[in-house]
Amino acid sequence: MTVSTVEYIRYRIPEQQSAEFLAAYTRAAAQLAAAPQCVDYELARCEEDFEHFTLRITWTSTEDHLEGFRKSPLFPDFLAEIRPYIGSIEEMRHYKPTAVRGTGASVPTLYAWAGGAEAFTRLTEAFYDKVLKDDLLAPLFADLAPEHAAHVALWLGEVFGGPAAYSESQGGHGHMVVKHMGKGITEAQRRRWVNLLQDAADDAGLPTDAEFRSAFVAYAEWGTRLAVYFSGPNAVAPGEQPVPRWTWGAAPPYQP
């Protein structure tokens, strides 16, 4: 997993110059938006003291910023816009993220929205009942262990924001990947897997709102396409990795 770096630039801009400053950064932002080294950016203004502004830029790496963006054709136009305000900079540094990170509870996890552990247990029970009756998928699961559905319920629960029960009892992402190696999963089987999972979600009573189902299907598409790759003849097992964590993405839950 790539670890990016965050640059913070803190300005003190007199009130009478703030409109010009914001206009200059609006123009300069076009260069950031075009830079492949830039992940995202945001200019914030202090609520308690309107003269303080903080620009946050996430770069793919510090080196990419200093040796890539600053030496690219985009930088001269960026610098031309902000040059009048360089003397107003109070801090300009790069920061690496630490392990202390997370989200608050203003937006529920997909796991909580779905109904927690019981919902994913119902889902996998309904799903594997369908799989074992399906002519296309049943051969892949001919030696299905009795605890398989329960393990997949733990996996999906953790992926969608629930407790790390799969990681603690089975292992991380690499452990799941290894289970697919050598299976030779076809595209037709992958598509059937996704379709049956959606049918099982209906049968299990998972939420049907557009936002949840779009995130749910997005993970199913991503996960099954990886499964096809890792089941193929040229796949290389990855090192141990944490279980992926899926979020709402572009559309958080609709809460009137």
Q: What is the CATH number of the domain that holds 136?
A: 1.10.490.10
Residue 86: closest CA among 38, 26, 24: 24
Phi-psi region of 46 (alpha: psi -120 to 50; beta: other; left: phi over 0): beta
Give the pLDDT band (50/70/90) at residue 1.
Answer: very low
Tell me if 174 is assigned to some domain: yes
User: Is 89 found in the same domain as 55?
Assistant: yes
Give the pLDDT band (50/70/90) at residue 191.
Answer: very high
Tell me if 102 is assigned to some domain: no
Query: Quick check: 90 pLDDT over 80?
Result: yes
Tell me if 236 is assigned to some domain: no
Range from 1-5, 155-159, 199-203, 218-222 carrying the lowest mean pLDDT:
1-5
Residue of 106 and 12 predicted with greater confidence? 12
Q: What is the CATH number of the domain that holds 22?
A: 3.30.70.100
User: Is 132 found in the same domain as 176?
Assistant: yes
Residue of 251 and 217 predicted with greater confidence? 217
The two structure tokens encoding residue 108: 């529920």
Task: Kindly list the distances between the CA atom of residue 5 and the CA atoms of 8, 93, 98, 99, 132, in Å, as whole numbers in the listed order.
Answer: 10, 10, 11, 14, 47
The two structure tokens encoding residue 89: 């900079």
Query: Quick check: 100 pLDDT over 90?
Result: no
Tell me if 141 is assigned to some domain: yes
User: Is 191 found in the same domain as 89?
Assistant: no
DSSP state letters, the chain = ----EEEEEEEE--GGGHHHHHHHHHHHHHHHHH-TTEEEEEEEE-SS-TTEEEEEEEES-HHIIIIIGGGSTTHHHHHHHHGGGGGGEEEEEEE---S-----SSS--HHHHHTSHHHHHHHHHHHHHHHTT-TTTGGGGTT--TTHHHHHHHHHHHHTT--SHHHHHT-SHHHHHHTTTT----HHHHHHHHHHHHHHHHHTT----HHHHHHHHHHHHHHHHHHHHHTSTT--PPPP-PPP----TT-PPP--
Give the pLDDT band (50/70/90) at residue 124.
Answer: very high
Boundary-marking domain end, from 43, 69, 95: 95
Domain count, the chain: 2
Query: Quick check: 143 pLDDT over 90?
Result: no
- Binding annotation for heme: 151, 175
Q: What is residue 3's predicted lDDT score, i.e. its pLDDT?
A: 62
User: Is 183 found in the same domain as 208?
Assistant: yes
Give the pLDDT band (50/70/90) at residue 254.
Answer: low
Tell me if 39 is assigned to some domain: yes
User: Is 76 found in the same domain as 43?
Assistant: yes
User: Is 90 found in the same domain as 133?
Assistant: no
Are 124 and 149 in contact by the 8 Å Cβ rule? The answer is: yes
User: Is 223 found in the same domain as 122?
Assistant: yes
Give phi and psi for 241, each to the nearest 5: -135, 155
Tell me if 251 is assigned to some domain: no
User: Is 114 found in the same domain as 65?
Assistant: no
Tell me if 103 is assigned to some domain: no
Q: What is residue 251's predicted lDDT score, i.e. its pLDDT?
A: 63
User: Is 115 found in the same domain as 201?
Assistant: yes
- Binding annotation: 151, 175
pLDDT above 70 covers a percentage of the chain that reads 96
Range of the domain at 28: 5-95
Give the pLDDT band (50/70/90) at residue 182.
Answer: confident
User: Is 114 found in the same domain as 84?
Assistant: no
Q: What is residue 101's predicted lDDT score, i.e. its pLDDT?
A: 77
Tell me if 61 is assigned to some domain: yes
Q: What is residue 111's predicted lDDT score, i.e. its pLDDT?
A: 97
Q: What is residue 131's predicted lDDT score, i.e. its pLDDT?
A: 96
Q: What is residue 255's predicted lDDT score, i.e. its pLDDT?
A: 63
C-alpha 224/C-alpha 81 separation (Å) is 46
